[in-house]
Amino acid sequence: MKKFRTSKGLIGVVLVALILIVGLFAPVFIPPEAATAMNMTARLSPPTWDHPFGTDQLGRDLFYRVMLGTQTSLKIAGAAVLMSIVIGLPLGMISGYAGGRTDNVLMRLVDTLLAFPALLLALTISAILGPNLQNTIIAIGIAFTPYLARIVRGEALRVAQMPYVEAARSSGTTDVMILTRHILPNIMPAVIVQGTISLAFAILAEAGLSFLGLGTQPPAASWGLMIQASRDYLDIAPWTALVPGLAVALTVLGLNMFGDVLRDVLDPRSK
């Protein structure tokens, strides 16, 4: 735990805790109308006491919108990463443990998927399924799966060669037992680290998809959508871009720092 006491670890922990609190509790304290209520007399207002982050082109309060957008981002990114783990973990484990032809075929497929830029794959899947919240999750989840499968496979391959796995095998333990009892617990640290870093990338991907209109759809509050909407008012109201931009930046920065420290703690070999 000493590693968290560095300034980087501390900032990471504080940022992640802050984001989680906002994501969880903002919808409890802020009624949904607060983020969608338009006020035509206060359009594009700069930050004031009434609107600490200013307002957008429809006079909607940016503080409320950015707060409620936190949950949208976290929900989509979290579900997408979970999905990539649910698919990628067994795929990678089987590939790394079975070896031979199974490994060859699976990894050839994973390598092929890796040739598709993750954002391109996510955009394509979302465009084809039709952009909405659920399909955004599916699109990002699928796009991130090959990365996770690759890492899990490498870890499984390493653990499978350990003497204790050898011992378990020679004492007649079944493959399923070895995979769940010996391999899985030993690759979890790497999965948790990769999951945290993927979460940061998933937040960026969701923002990118929504920015292009192929992710979260209006009137939902989403950081990517807010940046998209700000484009036409950059000259007169730069805060409409800066507020959601900084929200994305702080979240991703926090997750990256947290992930870096988590790696040092859980996975010291990778240093």
Partner 1 sequence: MSLTYVLNRLLSVILTLFLITLVTFGVTNILPGDVAMMIMGTQSNPEAMAGLRASLGLDDPLIVQYGRWVGGMLTGDWGNSLIFRQPIAVLLGEKIAASAIIVVMSMTIALSLAVPLGVWAAVHRDKWQDTTSSSAALLGVSLPDFFWGIVMILVFARWLGWFPSSGFVDPAEDFMGALRHAFLPSLALGLGLMAHLTRMTRSTMTGILEQEFIRVARAKGLAERVVVWRYGLANAIGPVITIAGLQVGYLFGSIIVMESLFNYTGMGWLTYQALLNRDMPLIQATVFVIAAVVMLTNLLVDLLYLAIDPRIRLD
- Distance from CA of residue 216 to its chain's centroid? 15
Under the binding rule (CB under 8 A), the answer on residue 129 touching partner 1 is yes
Q: Are 41 and 71 within 8 A, CB to CB?
A: no
Size of the site for partner 1 (CB under 8 A): 43
Q: In the bound complex, what is the minimum distance in angstroms from residue 248's beta carbon to partner 1?
A: 6
Compare residues 40 and 271 and give the one whose CB is closer to partner 1.
Answer: 271
**Secondary structure class of 243 (helix, strand, coil):** helix
State the burial class of residue 192 (Cβ atoms within 10 Å of its Cβ: 0-12, 13-18, 19+): middle
Report the candidate in 196, 240, 216 with the shortest Cα–Cα distance to residue 66: 240
Provide the minimum distance between the beta carbon of 135 and partner 1 in the complex, in angstroms, as a whole number.
Answer: 10
Select from 39-47, 68-76, 103-111, 175-183 the region that touches partner 1 (CB under 8 A).
103-111
Nearest to 62 by CA among 96, 25, 36, 84: 36
Please select the residue that binds partner 1; options are 82, 188, 241, 266, rule is CB under 8 A. 241
Q: How far is the CB of 48 from partner 1 (least distance, A)?
A: 22
Stretch that binds partner 1, among 25-33, 49-57, 163-171, 212-220 (CB under 8 A): 212-220
Examine residue 214 and tell whether it contacts partner 1 (CB under 8 A). yes
Residue pair 149/232 in contact by the 8 Å Cβ criterion: no
CA pair distance 30, 218, nearest whole angstrom? 18
List residues binding partner 1 (CB under 8 A): 108-109, 111-121, 123-125, 127-130, 200, 204, 207-208, 211-214, 224, 227, 230-231, 234-235, 238, 241, 245, 248-249, 252-253, 256-257
